[in-house]
């Protein structure tokens, strides 16, 4: 039996949290493989430094040393502390020299630096496990054999090569009942450089590890009780969802439920590996089970999520609907720009696309390449939010949309774009960002039981 356990930043944010997480790992003698994020605040600090140039290198290094060494001194004892300190210093020296000599505008360098926090947290967690009597080894993604392809910040794991890599790195450790603690967030590119999976990407790393080891279960340990009916930071009365299916969890993660990185579900779904979301601060709680099937419930909505910072781009061109090649060219230009489209809606003479706010500039640049006579007008509406509402048979229930849009009206929001029927499990629509929180709260209050 192999269980992959992933611990997020807050689950290794303090000495107390490290110890609690180590005890969760050590509570079972079976095959355990751990994937860990950087300590909370560390990745943000590294990303900030990248944005401002190398002026604050000394401050960042001091911050990292203090943050990690204070935990180490509290939790790791005697000889182990000595060897931890030696390994930690070696890693810190490498980081310091990278930070002082690196090319700050190189995207590969950015991926290298932003993923450094995981190298420290994984080393620490392996040593804490050893200190409480469970044999453990820290592995970087390079050592574990996690291979990735794609652009910096947007990596995708190569599952075939990773399975092969882990056959020689991780499996032998499992046979000896040693717990590998692997860095989350990044893989190794074809030229050996760190390639990150996007912010929050350690969940995806863990799903990839579970897939490649044919694990029996993936456990995502975080700071809330499970997958909740809404982000508890927005809706304090959100309730824990006991059971979800893969499709629901994937849609919600894609449309803003930050509890899972949007790409976490697919690698485990492919191999029918159940995924649990659990609270590392309250390990006795049941958490959420995400798998293929689930019992049906009767409430209209089970969960609402939102994705903010979006823009609607509307392209007007006469009778565009009768010129399919024109629509194809527009989509082609957006693809050339490498931009993700969250929803598309068409009418006789317009195509409306929903994209991230920061992608507007590059999208317009690419659309402007189209012949000016082909396009009458391009309009941009910024600061929009997509609401994703998930419920059982939502699309088959007569009157469900009317009820939902009635509640949106009650919240005083105007619906700017609707995407209904594209997914079997959700109803998605766009409102101005300034109204999104009210809409989420109203929907939750009225329809989530």
- Binding of ligand ADP by 8 (CB under 6 A): yes
Among 257, 290, 313, 315, binds ligand ADP (CB under 6 A): 257
Q: Residue count at the site for ligand ASP (CB under 6 A)?
A: 12
43 secondary structure, DSSP code: H
Phi and psi torsions of 190, nearest 5°: -65, -25
Q: Compute the least distance from the CB of residue 206 to ligand ASP, in Å.
A: 9
What tokens appear for 179 in the block?
């717990």
- Which residue number, 81 or 234, has a Cβ lying nearer to ligand ADP? 234
- Residue 259 interacts with which of Mg ion, ligand ASP, ligand ADP, none, CB < 5 to 8 Å by class: ligand ADP
What tokens appear for 152 in the block?
């910096």
Binding to Mg ion (CB under 5 A) within 169-208 occurs at: 200
- Binding of ligand ADP by 223 (CB under 6 A): yes
Binding to ligand ADP (CB under 6 A) within 263-322 occurs at: 303, 305
- Residue 38 interacts with which of ligand ASP, Mg ion, ligand ADP, none, CB < 5 to 8 Å by class: ligand ASP
- Nearest CA to 325 out of 371, 364, 380 is that of 371
Dist CA 434 CA 326 (whole Å)? 34
- Binding of ligand ADP by 115 (CB under 6 A): no
Dist CA 231 CA 256 (whole Å)? 9
Using only the alpha carbons of the chain, give its radius of gyration.
23
- Which residue number, 194 or 200, has a Cβ lying nearer to ligand ASP? 200
Which stretch in 37-45, 80-88, 268-276, 370-378 sits in contact with ligand ASP by CB under 6 A? 37-45
- Nearest CA to 390 out of 274, 254, 209 is that of 254
Other Cβ atoms less than 10 A from the Cβ of 275: the count is: 27
Other Cβ atoms less than 10 A from the Cβ of 86: the count is: 9
- Which residue number, 37 or 279, has a Cβ lying nearer to ligand ASP? 37
380 in helix, strand or coil? strand
What tokens appear for 28 in the block?
């079972």
Q: Compute the least distance from the CB of residue 203 to Mg ion, in Å.
A: 6
Q: Compute the least distance from the CB of residue 405 to ligand ADP, in Å.
A: 22
52 in helix, strand or coil? helix
- Which residue number, 189 or 426, has a Cβ lying nearer to ligand ADP? 426
- Binding of Mg ion by 226 (CB under 5 A): no
Binding to Mg ion (CB under 5 A) within 6-35 occurs at: 8
Q: Compute the least distance from the CB of residue 258 to Mg ion, in Å.
A: 6
Contact criterion met (CB below 8 Å) for 170 and 180: yes
55 secondary structure, DSSP code: G
Among 3, 10, 43, 280, binds ligand ASP (CB under 6 A): 43
Which stretch in 2-10, 106-114, 205-213, 232-240 sits in contact with Mg ion by CB under 5 A? 2-10
Which residues are within 8 A (CB) of 46 and not within 5 positions of it... i.e. 6 or more apart?
Answer: 60, 113, 114, 116, 117
Among 118, 142, 219, 231, binds ligand ADP (CB under 6 A): 231
- Residue 13 interacts with which of ligand ASP, Mg ion, ligand ADP, none, CB < 5 to 8 Å by class: none
What tokens appear for 355 in the block?
């994209």
Beta-strand pair 417-420/426-432: antiparallel
Contact criterion met (CB below 8 Å) for 305 and 255: yes
Q: Compute the least distance from the CB of residue 201 to ligand ADP, in Å.
A: 10
Binding mask 10-49 for ligand ADP (x = CB under 6 A): xx-------------------------x------------
Binding to ligand ASP (CB under 6 A) within 190-249 occurs at: 199-202
Dist CA 296 CA 293 (whole Å)? 9
Which residues are within 8 A (CB) of 288 and not within 5 positions of it... i.e. 6 or more apart?
Answer: 226, 227, 240, 241, 242, 243, 244, 276, 277, 278
- Which residue number, 11 or 419, has a Cβ lying nearer to ligand ADP? 11
The H or E element spanning position 79 is: helix 78-101
What tokens appear for 70 in the block?
């204070």
Dist CA 212 CA 206 (whole Å)? 10
- Binding of ligand ASP by 38 (CB under 6 A): yes
Angle, vertex CA 324, rays to CA 323 and CA 330, nearest 5: 100
Binding to ligand ASP (CB under 6 A) within 65-124 occurs at: 117
Q: Compute the least distance from the CB of residue 230 to ligand ADP, in Å.
A: 6
Q: Compute the least distance from the CB of residue 167 to ligand ADP, in Å.
A: 28
Residues that bind Mg ion (CB under 5 A): 8, 200
Residues that bind ligand ADP (CB under 6 A): 8-11, 37, 200, 222-224, 227-228, 230-233, 257-259, 303, 305
Residues that bind ligand ASP (CB under 6 A): 8-9, 37-38, 43, 117, 184-185, 199-202
């Amino acid at each position: 039996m192999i269980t992959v356990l992933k611990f997020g930043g807050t689950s290794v944010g303090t000495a107390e949290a490290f110890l609690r997480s180590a005890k969760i790992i050590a509570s079972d003698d079976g095959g355990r493989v751990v994937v860990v994020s950087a300590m909370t605040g560390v990745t943000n600090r590294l990303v900030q430094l990248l944005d401002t140039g190398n002026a604050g290198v000394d401050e960042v290094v001091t911050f990292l040393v203090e943050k990690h060494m204070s935990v180490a001194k509290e939790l790791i004892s005697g000889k182990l502390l000595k060897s931890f300190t030696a390994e930690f210093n070696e890693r810190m020296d490498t980081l310091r020299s990278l930070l002082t000599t690196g090319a700050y505008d190189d995207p590969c360098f950015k991926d290298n630096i932003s993923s450094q926090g995981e190298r420290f947290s994984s080393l620490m967690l392996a040593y804490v496990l050893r200190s409480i009597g469970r044999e453990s080894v820290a592995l970087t993604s390079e050592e574990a054999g996690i291979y990735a392809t794609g652009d910096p910040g947007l990596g995708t794991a190569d599952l075939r090569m990773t399975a092969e890599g882990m056959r020689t790195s991780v499996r032998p450790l499992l046979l000896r009942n040693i717990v590998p603690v692997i860095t989350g967030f990044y893989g190794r590119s074809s030229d050996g450089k760190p390639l990150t999976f996007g912010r929050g990407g350690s969940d995806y790393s863990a799903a990839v590890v579970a897939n490649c080891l044919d694990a029996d279960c993936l456990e995502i340990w975080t700071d809330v009780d499970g997958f909740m009916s809404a982000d508890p930071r927005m809706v304090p009365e959100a309730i824990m969802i006991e059971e979800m299916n893969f499709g629901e969890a994937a849609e919600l993660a894609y449309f803003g439920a930050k509890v899972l990185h949007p790409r976490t579900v697919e690698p485990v779904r492919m191999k029918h590996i159940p995924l649990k979301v659990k609270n590392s601060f309250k390990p006795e709680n049941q958490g959420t089970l995400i798998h293929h099937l689930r019992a049906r419930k009767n409430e209209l909505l089970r969960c609402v999520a939102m994705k903010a910072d979006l823009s609607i781009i509307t392209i007007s061109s006469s009778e565009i609907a009768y010129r399919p090649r024109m629509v194809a060219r527009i989509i082609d230009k957006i693809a050339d720009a490498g931009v993700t489209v969250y929803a598309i809606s068409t009418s006789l003479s317009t195509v409306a696309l929903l994209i991230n706010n920061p992608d507007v500039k590059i999208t317009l640049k690419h659309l402007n390449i189209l012949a000016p006579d082909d396009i009458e007008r391009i309009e941009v509406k910024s600061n929009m939010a997509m609401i994703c509402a998930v419920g059982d048979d939502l699309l088959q229930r007569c009157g469900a949309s009317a009820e939902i849009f009635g509640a949106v009206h009650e919240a005083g929001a105007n619906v700017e774009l609707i995407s209904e029927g594209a997914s079997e499990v959700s109803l998605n629509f766009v409102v101005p960002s300034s109204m999104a929180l009210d809409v989420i709260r109203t929907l939750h209050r009225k329809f989530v039981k």
